[in-house]
Amino acid sequence: MIVWRIITAPFRWLKALVLWKLKIAKAICVWISNSWNTYWREEYQITIYYPGEKATLADGSIVEKAPAEKTFTAKKILKKNPKHFMWIDLDDRHHELKFLNPVVFHVVKIF
């Protein structure tokens, strides 16, 4: 047991050096990946304005509330119609929205 520690003691610095080089290599790979995504990835912002609710007052008049606004981010838009939206978000999840009545929407390309 003592002989084994004497033999391997000079090589402990080598193990530390290898681990240090692996950390640097991983950091470089992450930096390259982030740079690539920043310059070549497509990203969109989808804003959908839901129709406001209609309320009937006691005197019989109909009042419509202000439309609600919802914003989503997407890396790919599969389908965009006034009644049907399909997209893939930045985490590779598939989303789909369907409406009975047409809605107002805006699509802005960020990258």
- DSSP-derived letter for residue 83 is S
Cβ neighbours of 87 (radius 10 Å): 21
* Whether the predicted pLDDT of 74 surpasses 70: yes
Who contacts 47 (Cβ-Cβ below 8 Å, separation ≥6)?
69, 70, 71, 72, 105, 106, 107, 108
| Domain boundaries along the sequence of the chain | 42-109
Per-residue confidence at 23, pLDDT binned at 50, 70, 90?
confident
pTM beyond cutoff 0.85 = no
Per-residue confidence at 66, pLDDT binned at 50, 70, 90?
confident
End-to-end CA distance of the chain, in Å? 61
* Whether the predicted pLDDT of 18 surpasses 80: no
